[in-house]
Structure 1
Amino acid sequence: MQELILVEKFSKLFSEAGFCDEIKQKQIIEEMNDLLGKMDKEEFESSLSKELFDQINTMIEEKKISEGNAFILLKEIGYQNSLRVFPNYNYKYSTLKKRFDKMIYDEERIIKGGNETFIVDLSECYLLLRNFFQFLPLQLVSVCVPCLLKIATNKKENEKTQKEVELALMALCNVGILVEVEKDFHQKEITEIIEYHQEHRNLTHLAYQLAWSFLIDRFFRDESLEALISDKLHFTREATQELEEMSKRVDWKAKGKTEENKRMKEVNIMLKWICTINVFFVSFQMWKEEYFGLIDYFISLCRSSRAYEQRISGKCMVLFRRAIELNDVSVYDLLKRGVFKQISEEIYLKTMNDTTARMCLESFFDLSKRLKGIMTNEVDEMKKKEIKRELFDMLEEEGHEDMIPSFHATISLRFNKYRVEFSLNFEDYFVNV
């Protein structure tokens, strides 16, 4: 019964909201928003039913809730939704979504007659609640993105402004990687936001991550941004500093609901950073020595968090696998820094899920491809044999010396589908010992 207290209180306040004046209604909605921030994952999911979104739509139609107050509630729902990376399928099939779809396509109101506040409110609600596979209307990109960027460039440091900046940046990030946004709509403004924060530290930790996320997502489509991101704005340095600072604040052993919720918010921001870093690593053209700093940090993070938060280890494994795939990254450097040892240790964890297990095994799969071929930076045959022997010794010490041959045997069906040619000769991957 204890677990349902917040859900029941939220439901009770919502039922009261339709029977009071606009000022009182706003106060009730602010109480509801406060409750949303205190809910755990199960409570949050339980509160956001399809019926709730349908009722909000009905209340707007019957003028039992003002459009402005509805926006306040829905923006907070969307904010918490995006922070927790919770796919809200209940909203997707609600009448409220149909209402917002219709409003977004109302060109007369959006482009000709809509005031800026309305455009920002509607854009934030629409983007924060949207499904990532949902088609994004052209007018939302061409009209709303510049409005949201204008909000995001506000440099005031009071709490109200910082929350508005967070909301605007989070909505912009929900535009998605695959949606093309013209440089005129983003590059100058987002660069200014990042540079100003680097000098004045005016953003929250979350807002700073979101600013980077929006820019990195554009990089996914525009490789010309690499020099700006890497050399001028120093992405990897900034990301490493932010993650290290957050790691020091996280209480992995937190007990009690309040402490656990605080830990989960920090973890969710860290996960967002790691996902953004992974998008960057997929998109860049040249490996730089400074990127090894991130590798070192993630090895340390995996070890400190793996007993408490498996999601972090899973995201780190994606980054390790990407490094292993790159021909201009030295396998020897990865070996010496402990990447393969970390991956092999991960496989023994009782908390490991299927996704992380697959990523670990496929990392060894990619490693075996590197060892079978001619490795860039390691073309000398004696050097290759030295690397193979050290890897074999490490795997033998961990009890994984048969991993690659057995992995080949079990994965053959999957890779036969894609016609991957693969030798099962053990000598191709490790020297005979």
Structure 2
Amino acid sequence: MSTQEKMEMDNTKKFNELLNGLEDCTNDEQKQKIKEMNRLIDKMNEYEFISIFTTELFNKMDEMIEDKILSWENAILILKNAGFWKIMKDASGSCFYHTKLNRRFEKMIIDEYKKKEKDEALLADLCECYLTLESRISYDLKSICVPCLVKAGLKKGEDENTQKEVEMAFLALSNFSDEYIVREEIYINKIKMIIKFHQKQHILTRLAYQSVWMFLIFRIGSNTILEKEIANGLHFIREAAKELEELTNCVNWKREKEAVEDGKETKEELIILRWLETLNFCYFACELWSKDYSRLIFSLVHLYRAAKEYSREIRDHCIARIRGAAISRPVEFEDLLNGGAVDLILEEFIQPNADCTQFEQIIMFFGDLSSGLKGKMKNNYDEAKRKDAKRKIFEKMEVEGYEDCITGFRNHIVKDKYGFHFLIKNIEDYFIFC
């Protein structure tokens, strides 16, 4: 058993011991143990989270609540933190939906909402727990949770507690991927108002701002009016580029690689991954962009260079987003050129230490670029501009070393019957050309 596996088993055992130990504690003692449990959650990787938060654990917590062993207040302290890290780590395989605790939450939310004298703070906590642990919700709960969380997100205050409350509300909303919302236009207008206000006053945390954007982007669907507003009124591309640049400069990229490999990314790195995920959705959902694409490409190139030695996940996502831009209809070749994408790809092409996945992504960039240019031809793209783009590519590739490298790899790039590229095994043996 590896050291890492032993640590994961120890964490799982310790968490379960703390949970079992809540039964014989006073309320204050429970809170202290829950703090320890939450510290363990903060350090979990995705595998640990899934192995601990099982159907059995959620059902056990439900029984503890039923038997008055665990108060709602203390249960929420655990579950809000668990939901937070589930979303941040993008942990898959949640089993909360099929548990007794899930049904208890649904009933509690509806009952609290129907009261004449609602406990707004409790209702917001319940909705946050519910939506962070499970995005599949009924029609009735949509009409309760969405307005409740938007209202919670509208709180004003610069103190840390208020900022955390707002952040959690918007994070929960960002997990709501269903396009349809009851009285949708009301909440979309409020979200747009929040974005505009933040752009002037910087009232939100980085995570809250990213979450607001993710919630809004998921609402696009076939709403071309909203799409235009996102592109040209709220300047999504410009804002995404700015946030990626600032986050890239915030991260201490020289920390130990083992921390990344163990799933212990910093909060800033996880926010970066969420921005990259949002950009990926936009490539499919949006066609109307402002003129900020060169800056976005530049920010992706800058992020790639900063992260490539320390975070393979971020590195690969950057290349994927650059590839997506190459085939995106609104993106001009000049955006890729001026943003540094072509230079980056060609530089990486001759690196002797590129792994197979990285190299395959680099190879496929050229195919995507070609497809993008062909697509523009079909859409009456200026033929002169297409030829000029092609000429600039060849000029770049004529730099000493690029042509020989490309020639050396040409016979090792294969297409399967579906037209997808892949590389032969042991591709690293062929880096003698570099």
Compute the TM-score of the two structures, normalised by the length of structure 1: 0.81
Contact 1:220 1:280 in 2 (8 A): no
Could you tell me which residue of structure 2 aligns to residue 420 of structure 1? none
| Residue 139 to residue 362, structure 1, CA distance change in 2 (3 Å) | farther
**Greater CA deviation, 73-82 or 208-217?**
208-217
Could you tell me which residue of structure 2 aligns to residue 317 of structure 1? 319
Could you tell me which residue of structure 1 aligns to residue 72 of structure 2? 67
| Residue 143 to residue 50, structure 1, CA distance change in 2 (3 Å) | closer
Could you tell me which residue of structure 2 aligns to residue 127 of structure 1? 131
1:400 aligned onto 2:406: yes
Contact 1:240 1:294 in 2 (8 A): yes
> Separation in 1 of the partners of 2:310 and 2:178?
30
Deviation at 1:171, TM superposition (A): 0.8
- 1:218 counterpart SS class: coil
Could you tell me which residue of structure 2 aligns to residue 116 of structure 1? 120
Mapping for residues 262-341 of structure 1, pairs under 5 Å:
263-335=265-337, 337-341=339-343
> Separation in 1 of the partners of 2:128 and 2:268?
23
Contact 2:196 2:234 in 1 (8 A): yes
Unpaired segments ≥5 residues, structure 1: 417-433
After superposition, give the CA deviation of every residue in 1:39-84 in whole Å (9 maximum; x if it has no partner). Answer: 4445444433443222112212222112232122111100111111
Mapping for residues 77-156 of structure 1, pairs under 5 Å:
77-100=82-105, 103=107, 110-111=113-114, 115-130=119-134, 132=135, 134=136, 136-156=137-157
Could you tell me which residue of structure 1 aligns to residue 209 of structure 2? 208
1:21 aligned onto 2:23: no
> Separation in 1 of the partners of 2:56 and 2:278?
34
Unpaired segments ≥5 residues, structure 2: 421-434
Deviation at 1:204, TM superposition (A): 1.5
Aligned length: 408
Deviation at 1:208, TM superposition (A): 1.4
What amino acid is the match of 1:78? G
The structure 2 residue matched to 1:37, chosen from 38, 42, 45, is 42
Contact 2:191 2:216 in 1 (8 A): yes
What amino acid is the match of 2:107? M
Could you tell me which residue of structure 2 aligns to residue 164 of structure 1? 165
After superposition, give the CA deviation of every residue in 1:301-349 in whole Å (9 maximum; x if it has no partner). Answer: 1111111112112222332223222344333552454424434555668
Could you tell me which residue of structure 2 aligns to residue 253 of structure 1? 254
> Separation in 2 of the partners of 1:249 and 1:280?
25
1:191 aligned onto 2:196: no
Contact 1:334 1:340 in 2 (8 A): yes
- What is the root-mean-square deviation of aligned Cα atoms in Å? 3.4
What amino acid is the match of 1:116? E
Contact 1:71 1:122 in 2 (8 A): yes
> Separation in 1 of the partners of 2:206 and 2:54?
30
> Separation in 2 of the partners of 1:142 and 1:279?
25
**Greater CA deviation, 378-387 or 169-178?**
378-387
What amino acid is the match of 2:270? N
What amino acid is the match of 1:83? M
Could you tell me which residue of structure 2 aligns to residue 342 of structure 1? 344
What amino acid is the match of 2:143? S
What amino acid is the match of 1:63? K
What amino acid is the match of 2:292? E
> Separation in 2 of the partners of 1:364 and 1:357?
12
1:414 aligned onto 2:418: yes
Contact 2:294 2:338 in 1 (8 A): no
> Separation in 2 of the partners of 1:220 and 1:292?
26
> Separation in 2 of the partners of 1:144 and 1:389?
55
**Greater CA deviation, 200-209 or 385-394?**
385-394
Could you tell me which residue of structure 2 aligns to residue 217 of structure 1? 218
Contact 2:46 2:263 in 1 (8 A): no
What amino acid is the match of 1:124? E
Contact 1:346 1:352 in 2 (8 A): no
- 1:289 counterpart SS class: coil
Compute the TM-score of the two structures, normalised by the length of structure 2: 0.80
> Separation in 1 of the partners of 2:277 and 2:170?
16
Deviation at 1:153, TM superposition (A): 0.7
1:379 aligned onto 2:368: no
- 2:282 counterpart SS class: helix
Deviation at 1:398, TM superposition (A): 7.0
> Separation in 1 of the partners of 2:335 and 2:404?
19
Contact 2:308 2:315 in 1 (8 A): yes
Contact 1:251 1:263 in 2 (8 A): no
Contact 2:45 2:263 in 1 (8 A): yes
> Separation in 1 of the partners of 2:404 and 2:178?
39
Percent identical among aligned pairs is 33
Could you tell me which residue of structure 2 aligns to residue 52 of structure 1? 57
1:176 aligned onto 2:167: no
> Separation in 1 of the partners of 2:267 and 2:354?
21
Contact 2:297 2:340 in 1 (8 A): no
Deviation at 1:165, TM superposition (A): 1.0
What amino acid is the match of 2:150? L
